[in-house]
Amino acid sequence: MTPQSLYDLDRSAWGELLHQEPKFRVDQIWNGLYHQGKELGELTSLPKALREQLLEQLPTALNKVTEQVSDSGDTTKFLWELSGGARVETVLMLYPDRATVCISSQAGCAMACSFCATGQAGFERQLSTGEIVEQVLRARRVAMAQQPARRVSNIVFMGMGEPMANFENTWAAVQRIHDDIEIGARHITVSTVGLIPGIHRMAAEALPVNLAVSLHAADNTLRNELVPINRKYPLEDLMAACASYFAATRRRVSFEWAMIHDVNDRLSDAQALAELAHPLRAHINLIPLNPTPGYAVRGSSKNRVRAFREELERLGINVTVRDTRGTEIDAACGQLRAGHEATPVSRPQRRS
């Protein structure tokens, strides 16, 4: 069941709810909530009685449990509790030239990638469109309250969950973020483990957002182990889907690669990755592996990361090393997990 909260209402649902009110009310509320980023209680242009009635009728979905700050104030992680008790996290990252919000699309995740804390904890439930959108709005208010105020410029679906396994709600959220929160398609990135039907659906949509694919391995044997959904959607098919996304949208795909010591960080791995990336002109994001409770292997050393990056560059591939924002508050890639229940430790197979 999709919970109904303030941000789950689209324009037509607002129209139905306010059918006894003058027509301009819907615009007034919509502009206030989305364009101006106000909360319902702050919409003082509404008659007081109506405002109070709406406040009673339409709760917001995200109840803040904690808000943790690190990187000298530049990274904020929010832990929210949703109706029914599920918890999700959102991360706001301030950079000199941009402000990015990393949002969750599901509570937990069913994809079970071995090195990811969200995957280790399992799936809880889908987020509604409103629950996804509200994360952006809540983080935007915190960005606006900075001295000086910061405007949220980028959205990444890289928090908890697999966005393509919650496609309808994810896409409705993308549209609202684009149309009403006014963030351009080139500043929105949807990241997936590689659910091919989702990639095709997204290619057929009019908005060309960025597609990121969590690759992590360039051969099926290793990828089956790291990203188990690869058994269903193997690399050959995944690369073909990426090619069709690129052809349909002209957006270069990016590949994420968590650098895991002795597992996928050798020069031969870089060469195999370059072969996949080259025909797509894909951009590579290297993510030094962040520690998670259920995975016993360490991340690659700085030197290994550098050598890997240099090998890719030598082969003519575009590559960036992602910074490890928020590691000390468990807000970095793959560390979002909401609860802190113990998880069994898996020991992956070493490769010779």
Q: Which of 109, 113, 116, 333 is catalytic?
A: 333
Q: Does 189 bind ligand SAH (CB under 6 A)?
A: no
Q: Does 158 bind ligand SAH (CB under 6 A)?
A: yes
For residue 182, which amino acid is it? E
How many CB atoms lie under 10 A from the CB of residue 9? 20
CB 214 within 8 A of CB 194: yes
Q: Does 116 bind ligand SAH (CB under 6 A)?
A: yes
Q: Which of 46, 91, 92, 113 binds ligand SAH (CB under 6 A)?
A: 113
Q: Does 123 bind ligand SAH (CB under 6 A)?
A: no
Q: Report how many residues bind ligand SAH under the rule CB under 6 A.
A: 18
Binding mask 39-68 for ligand SAH (x = CB under 6 A): ------------------------------
Return d(Cα 4, Cα 6) in angstroms, integer. Answer: 7
Those residues whose C-beta lies under 8 Å from the C-beta of residue 254, and which sit 6 or more positions away, are 189, 210, 211, 212, 213, 282, 283, 284, 285
Shortest CB 239 distance to ligand SAH, Å: 16
Q: In terms of DSSP bridges, do strands 188-192 and 154-157 run parallel, antiparallel, or are they unpaired? A: parallel
**For residues 256 and 269, which CB has a smaller minimum distance to ligand SAH in the complex?**
256
Q: Does 258 bind ligand SAH (CB under 6 A)?
A: yes
Start-to-end CA distance of the chain, whole Å, equals: 48
Q: Does 292 bind ligand SAH (CB under 6 A)?
A: yes
**For residues 6 and 217, which CB has a smaller minimum distance to ligand SAH in the complex?**
217
Q: Which is nearest to 72 in space by CA: 322, 323, 326, 324? A: 326
Shortest CB 56 distance to ligand SAH, Å: 36
Return d(Cα 101, Cα 266) in angstroms, integer. Answer: 32
Q: Which of 89, 124, 134, 256 is catalytic?
A: 89
Q: Which of 8, 256, 265, 330 binds ligand SAH (CB under 6 A)?
A: 256
State yes or no: is 310 an active-site residue.
Answer: no
Q: Which of 32, 108, 198, 334 binds ligand SAH (CB under 6 A)?
A: 334
CB-side neighbour CA atoms (13 Å) of 15: 4
Burial of 261 (0-12, 13-18, 19+ CB in 10 A): middle
CB 65 within 8 A of CB 87: yes
The span of 47-55, 113-121, 132-140, 303-311 binding ligand SAH (CB under 6 A) equals: 113-121
Helix 267-280, helix 235-249: angle, nearest 10: 40
Output the residue with the shortest Cβ distance to ligand SAH.
334
Q: Which of 192, 210, 249, 264 binds ligand SAH (CB under 6 A)?
A: 192
State yes or no: is 116 an active-site residue.
Answer: no
Give the interface with ligand SAH as residue ranges (CB under 6 A): 111, 113, 115-116, 158, 162, 191-193, 214, 256, 258, 287, 289-290, 292, 333-334
Give the residue numbers marked as catalytic. Answer: 89, 333
